[in-house]
A and B are shown apart, each in its own frame.
Chain A
Amino acid sequence: MTSLVLTITETLRYRGEIGKWAWVLHRVSGSGTFVFLIMHVIDTSWATFYPELYAKAIDAYKTPLFTAGEFVLVACVIYHALNGLRITLLDYRPQWWRRQADTAKLVLLGTLVLLVPVFLVMAGHVVNYYNERAGAFDLGLDKMVEATAPFAIGTVIVLGLGLVVSAGASLIPSLNAPRKRLKGSKMETFLWSFMRISGVLIIPLVFGHLAMMHLIQGVFDLSRVGHVPVFTNLGPNMDDTLTAVNFVRLRWDTMLAGVYIWRVYDILLLFLVVLHGFNGVRYIINDYIHNRVVNRALHLALFGTMIGVLLVGALAILQSVPATTAEMLSQTSRTIGVDVNPFVR
């Protein structure tokens, strides 16, 4: 760990140019987004697997601390996206390196310019919410702890398991042989390109997702009775229990031209973002953690978590919300005379 501490202090001390700060911000914004990503995939999967828990998670997301976190998250995503574009451009056009400082400033400026309207719209949702529930401001620390505790415990368990397996693996002599110096890796070469290509593909998907879930409608709308989820064709959310769950259902069961478009969209987003994010964290681990046992433990934990997150996320999307909840939903829809999706189970 000394190398991480040393790198942080010396990065602050060394008088590099703005490219250095772009790199620091890219790492910080990426790591921040990563933490939210894992939580977000797992708690969204609860809409399918544990509807009651999902409703609780959405309640927690409405607490002020998570609201502040949402603003930070959106800032992180926008900066990471724009700077990622900058990195990709400069990587594929090495002769443009002279523009690195200008483009780094442009990315900062672009982020700020984009954030002004985005934050205004997001703040509008927050203000509306608190206007409707005058005097209901509640820091919700207990909700926050309750919502994040499973992730904290899960992280400790996964890291502990990784350490145990890694320590066990160090008993196998062949796994401890020193690495041959510089032998080239097709995987590493592929992943470098993958980070850039996936990054570029993610940008429209994530910006679309942010627009749909944080701007046009916010987390406060998900659980509002009578709210019609944007870009869906199944009618308003009329169930006053587990409304957030039904919101997810309305989205995932919306069809366009015979395709569950939001499921396709979310699956694409899930795989690209998860692979991109986990590989980014792998880079960070390999940069700073050199103890063989700890490094391997983190890799195991990371890989296991990635498979878990992908499986849980994909299954939740493919399976969608359970039939009982859907039944309730289709009944309420019928009573108000809205067309019911023929594919609702």
Chain B
Amino acid sequence: MEAVIRIRRFNPEKDKKPYWATYTLKDCEPTDRVLDLLHRIKWEIDGTLALRRSCAQGICGSDAMRINGRNRLACKVLLKEFGEKPKIQVEPILGLPVIKDLVVDMEPFFAHYRAVKPYLVNETPPPVGPDGRPRERLQSVEARERFDDTTKCILCAACTTSCPSFWANGAYVGPAAIVQAHRFIFDDRDQLLKERLDLLADPDGVWRCRTVYNCTPACPRGIEVTRAISEVKKAIQTGKRDF
């Protein structure tokens, strides 16, 4: 089948403004992914098309883009979703500076990620195993389950760049950073609870969330993003991880 694909393109060396370019591809299969179409355009039609991707299997989180109006991973969207005569519109995720075509500068996003200290902090020495050497800190199944959902994040930025609060105000840490914070706030091995809650009780922390719910359906990993944010809000108010 034939697919028509519109791409929001921008070359900072040539173009004053982004523009829409339309490509028609023959011999497409319903099981082709949007990423396959982008590959064919880049390899067969116009080698100047810029996009990010690495694993192409929904794990690395490189190819988040706005596909037909919603943030998705290009490697996880099949053509058959768009019917017999697919018409697809692809544009870069919004809220981060566009470098070229579909490639955005992810640095502001990662700066927010780093700001929430996305690593386990535990100052007590690790337990000692039967062999006399340090071993892992054990955790009950229930305690691990508490933050299981937020361990699934692949930092693709689909949630953060679907958020109107983030579009309006880049200082907002955004859903992805809060999801990462949630993963450690609700980990009972972590000892930085108070500081984490204090970090996020910032006007640009969780309080910039207006519960628009764009982020939750945008997550390619199915993380309950808005729920995680609301749980962090509750933890801030109670000062506890088990409210």
Residues on A lying within 8 angstroms of B by beta carbon are: 3-4, 6-7, 10-11, 13-17, 19-20, 23, 87, 90-92, 94-95, 97, 100-101, 181-186, 188-189, 192-193, 283, 286-288, 290
Contacts and interface: CB of A to CB of B under 8 A. Distances in A.
28 contacts: A3-B168, A4-B168, A7-B164, A7-B168, A13-B69, A14-B70, A14-B94, A16-B162, A17-B214, A87-B211, A91-B230, A94-B230, A94-B233, A94-B234, A97-B224, A97-B226, A101-B213, A181-B115, A182-B200, A182-B202, A183-B199, A183-B202, A184-B199, A185-B207, A188-B201, A192-B233, A286-B169, A287-B210
A20 B213 contact: yes
B211 A23 contact: yes
A103 to B, nearest CB: 11
Given A184-B201, A290-B171, 6 more contacts: A3-B167, A10-B167, A15-B69, A23-B211, A182-B202, A184-B205
B198 to A, nearest CB: 4
B182 to A, nearest CB: 10
Contacts of B197: 184
B188 interface: no
Task: With a 10 A CB-CB cut-off, give which of B68, B199, B205, B236 has the most chain A CB atoms.
Answer: B205
A7 B68 CA distance: 18
A182 B199 contact: yes
A186 B70 contact: no
Contacts of B203: 185, 188, 286
Given A7-B167, A92-B234, A19 B204 contact: no
Contacts of A90: 211, 230
Nearest to A92: B234
Interface in B201-243: 201-205, 207-208, 210-214, 216-217, 224, 226-228, 230-231, 233-234, 236-237
A185 B203 CA distance: 7
Give 5 closest A-B pairs by Cβ, nearest first. Answer: A19-B213, A15-B69, A94-B230, A184-B198, A184-B201
A297 B233 CA distance: 30
Nearest to A16: B214
B202 A91 contact: no
B130 to A, nearest CB: 40
A100 B226 contact: yes
A287 B168 contact: yes
Interface residues of B, number: 43
Nearest to A27: B210
B173 interface: yes
Choose among A7, A189, A290 the residue with the greatest number of B CB atoms under 10 Å from its CB: A189
Contacts of B150: none
Interface in B69-110: 69-70, 94
B198 A183 contact: yes
A87 B230 CA distance: 11
Contacts of A95: 227
Interface string B41-76: 000000000000000000000000010111000000
B165 interface: yes
B68 to A, nearest CB: 7
A16 B68 CA distance: 11
A6 B96 CA distance: 13
B214 A20 contact: yes
Contacts of B224: 97
A91 B233 contact: yes
B202 A185 contact: yes
A90 B168 CA distance: 23
Contacts of A283: 210
B202 A16 contact: no
Nearest to B211: A87
Contacts of A192: 207, 233
Nearest to A104: B213
B91 to A, nearest CB: 9
A10 B94 contact: yes
Interface in B164-203: 164-165, 167-169, 171, 173, 197-203
B98 to A, nearest CB: 13
Contacts of A288: 168-169
Nearest to B116: A182
A186 B69 contact: no
A290 B204 CA distance: 12
Interface centre among B116, B167, B203 (most CB of A within 10 A): B203
Nearest to A90: B211
Contacts of B233: 91, 94, 192
Given A19-B211, A19-B213, A182 B173 contact: yes
B204 to A, nearest CB: 7
Given A11-B164, A17-B213, A90-B211, A290 B199 contact: no
Nearest to B195: A184
Contacts of A3: 167-169
B236 to A, nearest CB: 6
Nearest to A11: B164
